Chain A
Amino acid sequence: MANQDFSLIFERGKKGRTSYSLPEMDVPEMDLDNEFENCYVRSDAPDLPEVSELDIMRHYTGLSRRNYGVDSGFYPLGSCTMKYNPKINEDVASLDGFSHIHPHQDPKTVQGAMEMMYDLQASLSELTGMHDFSLQSAAGAQGEWSGLMMIRAFHEANGDDNRTKVIVPDSAHGTNPASVTVAGFEPVTVQTNENGLVDLEDLKRVVDEETAAMMLTNPNTLGLFETDIMEMAEIVHGAGGKLYYDGANLNAIMGYARPGDMGFDVVHLNLHKTFTGPHGGGGPGSGPVGVTEEFVSYLPKPVLTKKDDQFVFDYDRPASIGRIKPYYGNFGIYLRAYTYIRTMGAEGLKKVSEYAVLNANYLMRRLEKEYVLPYQQHCKHEFVLSGKKQKQLGVRTLDIAKRLLDYGYHPPTIYFPLNVEEAMMTEPTETESKETLDGFIDAMLHISEEAKNEPETVQEAPHQTVVKRMDETTAARKPILRYQK
């Protein structure tokens, strides 16, 4: 790794060097100034890199070698479900019949692709206990927003215009209150009790005739199952509100419990997390939304449905919240999720959750000896440790995360959730072996020893990476977003 070229693509190459050869021009030359208004014609040539094909290859290959992903190592980034993405997904997604079709094709000519989507909707409905699904939303956050817009449409259709508030636990993902706000509601916080669960008394206090809905992940962000969910559903429904399920943590309960059976009215899932769509590098994501029967008429249109023997896109949905994504969402991710569900089968998905929970509990019980565990009960697929003890030695959670890089691991999610001091949110997923987990545990225990005996080693980490400790503060205060010579 020592002899690597870290120059930017702009700093490589030489003026006039190219990696293309165009055929001789066989059309007449034109004066652009005569054809367009001057303001559209640039006076200076753009400062594009001038490099050979080999320069480009080395540039991108170099970048890819410095990248870190699930295919290169353990990635216990809590709440992100960084599980292995089986490569059979890619085989199926690259079949000509799927990869060579176009969304403008006549639906009659793409019945197979539509059947796949229809079956995927049915599988997701069965897994979650919902009546129907729309695949359109391009990510979890868009799923949340779509779900909330349906809840708004539902209340409005019932002449219930005063429901302006959505209840969100204080441990919730930041996207929840954000989606609430963007959907035109006001977020109201409900507190977590000493067991890390929603405080029922506080819930009763904040629920009223203005409650449009409550948003919840179950298991919650602390990785704990909300055991009072039936009572919570009763409280919220009793006040005329609806219950929204954020599917971020579905990986913990597949085949064991269904949001629909818990009383949830609207759910979204993250196909790029639980269902092995490629994850990271910006996606693409996919956040399908599922609903109970009373919400079906509000689903985003078009709705993919079956009429006689044909799969069709139904646009005749007067109560729909409308189209929320061009075409029918991120089709490529559906293929991967569908392949995953079909290859795992019902029993396989149940095992997924079983091992996800087992792995998390194994890690948690071995790490609680050196790191503070704020909530003692068994966790589901993830858990949150606190770096409180190490902080007293002058070693912060950020330092521990940076030190993990030296040991070759991606760190857990840090400083989240907000209700745990110096939080480290750790989600191993089901796809890791005991040997991998043991390696990570050893690293974490070593770091804890280092914090006691040689804190500066941790405080100044990372030492082994290509780039050392980043100056995140200056990067945030005075960002340089554009290359300049």
Chain B
Amino acid sequence: MNLPKDLFYTKEHEWVKKEDGNVRIGITDFAQDELGDIVFVEMPEVGDEIGADEPFGSVESVKTVSELYAPLSGKVLEVNEELEDSPEFVNESPYDKAWMVVVEPSNPSDVDQLLSAEQYEEAVKKD
């Protein structure tokens, strides 16, 4: 399982990367593998407020549609518009080309409450 150590994770299979007070968010390698070939990514708009543990978008694969749950509350600063035309990035490059949103957290210390790579791996194994 490819789980970069410098990222934070959620039980809902999102990864979170700290970037100068903001966070970049995507879904994990495990999640893309479980979902299978992604065919559509639905995302919020720049400026939207998202709430911790609330859905902020969805990913559709050949077999299912799965909601994206916000790892923390905040305001959407950037959205990866390339995913609209190239949803396959989620399968090919989940941690890099398939970042989904950049969010300004309402409370920056929320990030530290998220799971480490080890904790996430543990949680996935338990399932």
Contacts and interface: CB of A to CB of B under 8 A. Distances in A.
Interface in B29-72: 36-37, 39-40, 60, 62-64
Given A477-B87, A477-B88, A472 B64 contact: no
Contacts, number: 22
Contacts of B62: 472-473, 476
A149 interface: no
Contacts of B37: 472-473, 476
A476 B62 CA distance: 7
A354 B33 CA distance: 41
B interface: dominant SS: loop
Interface in A406-445: 414-416, 418
A415 B63 CA distance: 7
A405 interface: no
Nearest to B91: A473
Contacts of A416: 64
A183 interface: no
Interface in A97-120: none
Contacts of B36: 398
B39 A476 contact: yes
Interface in A441-485: 472-473, 476-477
Nearest to B60: A476
Most A-side CB within 10 Å, residue of B39, B64, B88: B39
Interface residues of A, number: 9
Interface centre among A398, A415, A472, A473, by most chain B C-beta atoms within 10 angstroms, is A473
Nearest to B35: A415
A248 B40 CA distance: 29
A476 B37 CA distance: 10
Contacts of A473: 37, 39, 62, 88
Interface in B83-117: 87-88
B13 to A, nearest CB: 14
Contacts of A414: 63
A477 B39 CA distance: 5
A418 B63 CA distance: 10
A418 B36 CA distance: 14
A416 B37 CA distance: 17
B9 to A, nearest CB: 20
A132 B14 CA distance: 49
B114 to A, nearest CB: 23
Nearest to B86: A477
A453 B64 CA distance: 29
A473 B63 CA distance: 10
B64 A415 contact: yes
A416 B62 CA distance: 13
A415 B64 CA distance: 7
A469 to B, nearest CB: 12
A416 B63 CA distance: 9
Given A414-B63, A472-B62, A476-B60, 13 more contacts: A398-B36, A398-B63, A415-B63, A415-B64, A416-B64, A472-B37, A473-B37, A473-B62, A473-B88, A476-B37, A476-B39, A476-B40, A477-B39
11 contacts: A398-B36, A398-B63, A414-B63, A472-B62, A473-B37, A473-B39, A473-B62, A476-B39, A476-B62, A477-B40, A477-B87
Interface of A: 398, 414-416, 418, 472-473, 476-477
Q: Which 10 A-B pairs have the closest CB atoms?
A: A476-B39, A473-B37, A415-B63, A472-B62, A477-B39, A415-B64, A473-B62, A476-B62, A473-B39, A477-B87
Interface of B: 36-37, 39-40, 60, 62-64, 87-88
